[in-house]
Structure 1
Amino acid sequence: MGCPSCLLTSWMHFITTLQRCVPQFKLVLRKQTFIPYKETFGLNFLQGRVIQIDTEMQTVVLDNGKQVRYSHIILCTGTSGQFPGKHNSVDTYQSAIQKYEDFVKVIQEANTVVVVGGGTTGVEMAAEIRTEFTNKNVILIHPREEVADPDLLPSVKEQAKQVLLEKGVELLLGQKVTNLDELELNVCRKGMVVKTNKNEQVTADLVICCTGNKINSEAYRSSLTACMAENGALKVNKHLQVEGFDSVYAVGDCADLDEPKLAYHAGLHAAVAATNIINSLTGKSLTSYRTGNVTMLIAMGKDAGVGQFNGYILPRFLVTKGKSQSLLLWKSWREMGQKAPN
């Protein structure tokens, strides 16, 4: 959420910078991109995949058979989607790093790159590739006439479109790819033909899919089916409690709220849920969450960005300075109570 392709973005920054820097810089960027949970949570961190939630016994069952009791539970299962915009597989630290290193090499091999989907992830992806590899032909195919998140101000979406054009990205808007299932994704294959519903055909060496994110509902599907919306999100009340369960909260992507799925919003949800758990234990009134005006920053390469704050458009230079150049990594480290390595 928030910056769906930040992992790839930071890694392409890493590869291109590494080409002109000392080897020690590689270790620094690895440490900045990946933040260890155990350093923050210590013995309170348990790694595992939840396969069942027993709301009667108030127990969480993990895939290794371990059972964890709870008095309150916050569900924040997020979404799954296509690599590299999403990395949902269970990997070791080194394996995750290697996947992104390998993918940047795939981009380097390709001459023509097609990005399918012009939402926030696709916009960031196309702009980043053209920024770091100016010799690549990058084509963005999107079913809507406007790019980026539909909830953004029209002026912000227009700015995003203009940045893409300035960077030399070719836009095929109002068109949908019809043969996506037949294409090999994330590999360099010369001569792949991408077809659209407007009878356009594009020959590509690399196809990157930035569509189709789905809410991760496997952990609670069997026990909270009656509380689920059609997309798999959980219906919540104004306190972010799952309907019918005072001790179960849902935040982030898996909360059925009418607002963009962003890390920024997830942080606001988490604050409300945590406060309400404390209030419920101390006999205080619960806090309500209210959706507000959209705040979103879109990094479009290290030298460009567009966005809005609380419903007001931001100057491009401000987004570039505040988000695109650092990807707000410092903020993530600070929120985790850790100091980013220099």
Structure 2
Amino acid sequence: MRHTVKAASVMSVAALALTACGGSSTEDETSASGSGSDVKACLAYDVGGRGDQSFNDSAAKGLDQAEDELGIETEEVEASQGENDAAREDRLNQLVDVGCTNIIGVGFIYAKAIGNAAKDNPDINFAIIDDASDASKGDNIAQLVFAEHEGSFLVGAAAALKSKSGKIGFIGGTDVPLINKFEAGYKAGAKAVNPDIDIQVKYLAEDGSGFADPAKGKTAAEGMYDKGADVIYHAAGGSGAGLFEAAKENKKMAIGVDSDQAKTAEEDVQDVIITSMVKNVNVAVFDYLKSATEGEDISGLVEFNLKDGGVSYSTTGGKIDDITDKLDEYKQQIIDGEITVPSK
């Protein structure tokens, strides 16, 4: 069965509590899970791939969980900097050739490639994370998207509440509508706390390289810290590692993205990360694949928002324990519709 669903119907509270364990399931575990042995799940990563400590790693976590708990076979490939849509489409078709039944493109850069590959392979099920454009629409495509602006509002409020200078920053990987959502929400949250706050903004590149260049991330962060910012939020994938280095060297604060980066970043910089805007990409990946093993192939737009638990903020390290009550008030106001968070 193929249908369009809302996030609430595919994401249970139990699913949110699960974490990837890695490794392979035993034969008994596979049997107990009710796994469909004919499912082969394949991930095509964005630039940076597994190990970026952020967006791609969150997707990898969901794949690992599916392999471990559902006993399915998996395959992984990675995008290269500067490649074009044709190269990405070729990569997807290679996954089809090796027997993948469910192929997930991790990131909006796969939109056109997913759309074309799905048309050429109508018997294969595809999904794309972070894209809802016409380019990636199709009867055999699930568009898995998130309300990044809602989660970003909360960390924007956190930045303003923790800032002593009244100056904060935002670093984006590239200037596109998806990353603009992070910026818009962050600014709105900060201004809800302090309407006069000074917010510096820097985008790192015009292509995917902006998500895999820690040196550029560090340079951008150092420039903002030099101008008085004391908290910076990034939506720049692997480039965020440079922000954390700069925060450490300048004794300032940083905010992570996608994963709880106070846990996933290099150990020597974790203490500068006061919170992260967490996108549960792992849950989206796992739920999509779990549905496949149950014979229910999802297609259409699936949104994971603040109310569903699709986005949230982290509290690892206790750096924002003094303001969580205020953040939770904002969270409830967003859920109740009292605050409408801009996405542009």
TM-based fold match above 0.5: no
TM-score by length of 2: 0.30
Higher helix share: 2
Q: Which has the larger radius of gyration?
A: 1
